[in-house]
């Protein structure tokens, strides 16, 4: 009899493993437990709902019934796993049930970080990290006109552009000098900002939030530079904290994420992790493409063919219709320089090292057409 595989988490990572494993082995028993509804949806679509004219419910492309019959797996929604007993190969969930496993996969994602702030309306700040969060935010948007977003990273900028296209007044607040500071050199960030400003987004940069208070009609954000912003809703998008507590309590090493090697294996040789909860060979990459590569490698391993994950260069596409953008940033501490060409139609920024090798790029506007030519010149992330 095939050994049993238990997957915890029904996000892109959990379902990607189930799908890839089913392609290789139709008999292996797979059980998937999830703290949420357990249905399948594409999380990246959440920040494009308004501009694509969808409603949140339509993003759920596979409810649990459909996923059960499609993948021939046992799906248990509303099962939040609370304990892993590594010695007994058993997990427990909030409904008191014990589930035993031969191979356990942790695909439990990450939480949105909440910055410490003062004020009586801090509890009214929204975050969006899953379909249920988005449904709550979407409902709150009805009849509202103005939204402030804390954080000018990928998710904050995508929501800002989506809301602006849908006719909302949008403020974006960030401590950086330009938006998308982790992905773009400042000159490219400035080009991107101008495009979003032209679409109606108002940036408040080089400052941060001091306090958030309810007034009679609005929520007032007071910035550390003294400026005040009145809006109807506030959304925070300042980054992710991988969910490591479950693994840590089971005695598995964690760092930024749950530590796994290139076989996606934790210190316990039958417990694996991937997706936004995992740090794979020292890399924390909370994006879809790394999940796709990790899920394929892990499925092969689970099917009996131990396979290390390889990450090629994986440029990140930012879904901002007002400024097409794709970037493959160099590592933070990589030696080299940006070489930037800007014109009114776009920006081509290439990060070149001392050996004259291309180590990263940022392409905006018309320059995004060069993505296919440049990507093969980038070094692999893990090979």
Distance separating alpha carbons of residues 306 and 63, to the nearest angstrom: 32
Decide: helix, strand or coil at residue 98.
strand
The region of 38-46, 59-67, 356-364, 371-379 touching ligand FAD under the rule CB under 6 A is 38-46
Distance separating alpha carbons of residues 260 and 205, to the nearest angstrom: 37
Q: How far is the CB of 327 from ligand FAD (least distance, A)?
A: 12
Per CB under 6 A, 46 contacts ligand FAD: yes
Mark residues 90-129: x for contact with ligand FAD by CB under 6 A, - for none: -----------------xxx------------------xx
> Of residues 30, 173, 246, 303, which one binds ligand FAD by CB under 6 A?
246
The region of 23-31, 66-74, 197-205, 281-289 touching ligand FAD under the rule CB under 6 A is 281-289
Per CB under 6 A, 81 contacts ligand FAD: yes
DSSP 8-state code for residue 228: E
Q: How far is the CB of 333 from ligand FAD (least distance, A)?
A: 23
> Of residues 2, 4, 36, 175, which one binds ligand FAD by CB under 6 A?
36
Per CB under 6 A, 149 contacts ligand FAD: no
Joined tokens for residue 95: 């409904």
Q: Count the Cβ atoms, other than its own, within 10 Å of residue 279.
A: 19
Per CB under 6 A, 295 contacts ligand FAD: no
Q: Phi first, then psi: what are they for 199, rounded to 5°? A: -85, 0
Residue tagged 């219709």 (tokens): 321
Per CB under 6 A, 287 contacts ligand FAD: yes
Which stretches of 50-142 are assigned E, i.e. beta strand?
A: 60-62, 74-76, 81-85, 90-93, 98-100, 103-106, 110-112
* Closest listed residue to residue 279, CA positions, set 293, 266, 295: 266
Per CB under 6 A, 8 contacts ligand FAD: yes
DSSP 8-state code for residue 296: H
The region of 43-51, 167-175, 264-272, 334-342 touching ligand FAD under the rule CB under 6 A is 43-51
Q: How far is the CB of 36 from ligand FAD (least distance, A)?
A: 4
DSSP 8-state code for residue 126: B
Distance separating alpha carbons of residues 344 and 367, to the nearest angstrom: 11
Restricting to residues 303-332, which ones interact with ligand FAD according to CB under 6 A? 319
Residues 39-59 as b or e (16 or more Cβ within 10 Å = b): bbbebebbbbbbbeeeebeeb
Q: Which one, 218 or 318, has the nearer CB to ligand FAD?
A: 318
Q: Which one, 170 or 220, has the nearer CB to ligand FAD?
A: 170
The H or E element that residue 191 is part of is helix 186-198
Q: Which one, 86 or 246, has the nearer CB to ligand FAD?
A: 246
Per CB under 6 A, 188 contacts ligand FAD: no
Q: Name the residues that contact ligand FAD, by CB under 6 A.
A: 8-14, 33-36, 43-44, 46-47, 80-81, 107-109, 128-129, 155, 158, 243, 246, 275-276, 286-289, 291, 319
């Amino acid at each position: 009899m095939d050994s049993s595989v238990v997957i915890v988490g029904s996000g892109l990572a959990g379902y990607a493993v189930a799908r890839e494993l089913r392609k290789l082995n139709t008999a292996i028993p797979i059980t998937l437990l999830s703290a949420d509804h357990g249905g399948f949806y594409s999380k990246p679509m959440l920040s494009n709902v308004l501009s694509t004219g969808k409603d949140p419910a339509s993003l759920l492309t596979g409810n649990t019934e459909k996923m059960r019959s499609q993948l021939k797996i046992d799906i248990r929604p509303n099962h939040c796993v609370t304990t892993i007993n590594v010695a007994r190969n058993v997990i427990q969930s909030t409904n008191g049930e014990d589930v035993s496993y031969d191979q356990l996969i942790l695909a439990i994602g990450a939480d949105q970080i909440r910055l410490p702030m003062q004020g009586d309306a801090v509890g009214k700040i929204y975050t969006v990290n899953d379909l249920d969060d988005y449904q709550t935010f979407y409902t709150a948007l009805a009849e509202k006109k103005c939204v402030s977003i804390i954080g000018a990273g990928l998710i904050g900028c995508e929501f800002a552009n989506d809301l602006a296209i849908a006719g909302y007044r949008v403020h974006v607040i960030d401590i950086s000098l330009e938006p998308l500071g982790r992905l773009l050199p400042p000159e490219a960030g400035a080009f991107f900002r101008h495009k979003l400003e032209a679409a109606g987004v108002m940036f408040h940069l080089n400052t941060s939030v001091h306090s958030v208070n309810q007034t009679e009609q609005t929520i007032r954000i007071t910035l550390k530079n003294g400026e005040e912003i009145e809006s109807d809703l506030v959304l925070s998008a300042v980054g992710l904290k991988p969910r490591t507590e479950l693994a840590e309590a089971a005695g598995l090493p964690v760092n930024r994420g749950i530590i796994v090697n290139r076989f996606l294996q934790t210190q316990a040789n039958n417990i694996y992790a991937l997706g936004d909860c995992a740090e794979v060979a020292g890399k924390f990459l909370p994006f879809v493409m790394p999940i796709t590569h990790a899920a394929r490698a892990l499925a092969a391993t689970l099917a009996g063919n131990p396979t290390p994950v390889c990450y090629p260069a994986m440029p990140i596409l930012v879904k901002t219709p007002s400024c097409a953008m794709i970037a493959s940033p160099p590592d933070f501490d990589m030696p080299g320089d940006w070489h930037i060409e800007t014109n009114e139609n776009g920006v081509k920024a290439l990060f070149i090292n001392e050996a004259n090798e291309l180590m990263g790029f940022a392409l905006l506007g018309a320059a995004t057409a060069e993505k296919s030519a440049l990507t093969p010149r980038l070094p692999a992330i893990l090979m």
